Amino acid sequence: MPRYDMLFFDLDGTLLSSDHRTVSPRNQEALRAARAAGIRLAIATGRCLGMIPREALELELDFAVTSNGAAVYDLKRDQQIFHYPFQANAAAKACEVIERYLDFYELFVGGKVILIRGEQAECDLPPWGHFYIERRGGLPPMTSMRSFVAEGAPGLEKINVIECPRTVLPLIRQELEALGDFALSSSMSYGGLEVVPIACSKGSAIRWLCGELDIGIERCAAFGDSSNDMDMLAAVGCGVAMENAPEDLKASARCVAPPYDQDGIAEFIMRHVM
């Protein structure tokens, strides 16, 4: 009998290859073996649904926790089953801070991406942004948050600072932390700053999902490599940090797997899960 009933995988720096898009043959084989053994499989990512690469969705996974826990999807039924969106007043406060320093940033809204961009701003997208453009045909820009907030910021899941001078990022983080309304994290694979409502995290979404499925969370394992994985690894029975993760995440995890570019997921599943 497998040791776990469900496995959760971060994408960038964890399950995906260095191209931020594909899954290695060894990792695919390990996931197929886990699925054949009756283990449920789920993505747990900071990306919104529309930025999950097709190559990952084709693995026949069961669920996707997206936007750092702001949304959960049943992939078999192609249905959103959980949503924890921003309140409009909190969104307005966060964007007011960010816009004092930057001319552009991202909003994840209803599983899609909207780029807030000033008239003259240019943006260097992370690699997954280019994949999103390939699938969706472009990033719809807005030059102001005012009308969106006036409408209640409908469906807003996450605010994402995707490119920021190193001297400026700590100032934005400090101001947002002082407001006390947000959970802040970053992805080691690209940097920047991820902003979600204060009680939102991958871990909280996983706890909700396990409750809905009547799965003991101690019978789950999760794999991650960044600060936005910290709560997730603490929530499950076995939190696994990748070797390429920062030291504080590895120190807090129950186990450490080989690095993502050495098929750490496959190594751990075949040695410790099956």
Residue-level pLDDT at 269:
96
pLDDT tier at 200, thresholds 50, 70, 90 = very high
Q: Which two tokens stand for residue 160?
A: 């994402």
- CA distance linking residue 258 with residue 241, whole number of Å: 9
Strands 79-83 and 104-109, sheet pairing: unpaired
Architecture in CATH for domain 6-84+200-273: 3-Layer(aba) Sandwich (3.40)
Report the b/e string of 210-248 with b at 16+ CB within 10 A: beeeebebebbbbbbbbbbbbbbbebbbbbbbbebbeee
What are the pLDDT digits (tens) for 218-246?
999 999 999 899 999 999 999 999 999 99
Identify the pLDDT of residue 192: 83
Q: What is the pLDDT of residue 177?
A: 96
- pLDDT bin (cut points 50, 70, 90) of residue 130 is low
* pLDDT of res. 220: 97
Are residues 75 and 69 in contact, defined by beta-carbon separation less than 8 angstroms?
no
Q: What is the pLDDT of residues 86-100, one digit of tens each?
A: 999 999 999 999 999
CATH class label, 88-197: alpha beta
pLDDT value at residue 222: 98
Name the more confident of 86 and 149.
86
Instruction: Give me the residue spans of the domains in the chain.
Output: 6-84+200-273, 88-197
- 244-272 tens-digit pLDDT: 999 999 999 999 999 999 999 999 999 99
pLDDT at 103: 81
